[in-house]
């Protein structure tokens, strides 16, 4: 059974981390000095 918990699941954490990495990559590409 799946219970609703206040803590995010590992899959959600991984997804958030991947999104953050992609955003950082895009920002770095746009901010080439």
The pLDDT tens digits of the residues spanning 1-33 come to 567 667 778 888 888 889 999 999 999 998 876
Cα(13)–Cα(30) distance, integer angstroms: 26
> How far apart are the C-alpha atoms of 20 and 26, rounded to whole Å?
10
Structure-block tokens of residue 14: 């991984």
d(CA 9, CA 1): 14
pLDDT at 10: 85
Residues 6+ apart with CB under 8 A from 16: 8
Closest by CA position to 23, among listed 33, 10, 8, 15: 15
State the pTM of this model: 0.51
């Amino acid at each position: 059974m799946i219970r609703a918990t206040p803590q995010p699941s590992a899959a959600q954490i991984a997804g958030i981390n991947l999104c953050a990495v992609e955003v950082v990559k895009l920002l770095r590409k746009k901010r080439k000095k």
